[in-house]
């Protein structure tokens, strides 16, 4: 058997990395926006005594 260097091996991605990264960025943005809305509600709501 002929050994190949790691640099000679072709790598194929099993997952659509670019698409998943884009979706993850969108989810992270939505989460940040939701967190801001929650924080805003916390500041605006009066605590019950």
Percent of the chain surpassing pLDDT 90: 59
CA distances from 48 to 7, 14, 43 (A): 65, 53, 13
Query: Taking 90 as the threshold, does the pLDDT of residue 5 lie above it?
Result: no
Query: Could you tell me the two tokens for 24?
Result: 């993850």
8 compared with 23, residue with greater pLDDT: 23
- The reply to whether the predicted model has a pTM over 0.75 is no
Q: How far is CA 25 from CA 17, 30, 34, 35, 49, in A?
A: 12, 9, 14, 15, 41
Q: How confident is the model at residue 9 (pLDDT cuts 50, 70, 90)?
A: confident
What per-residue confidence (pLDDT) applies to 27?
Answer: 98
pLDDT value of residue 40:
94
Residue 1 has what pLDDT?
Answer: 62
């Amino acid at each position: 058997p002929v050994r190949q260097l790691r640099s000679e091996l072709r790598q194929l991605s099993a997952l659509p990395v670019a698409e998943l990264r884009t979706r993850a960025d969108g989810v992270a943005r939505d989460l940040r926006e939701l967190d801001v809305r929650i924080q805003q509600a916390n500041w605006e709501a009066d605590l019950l005594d």
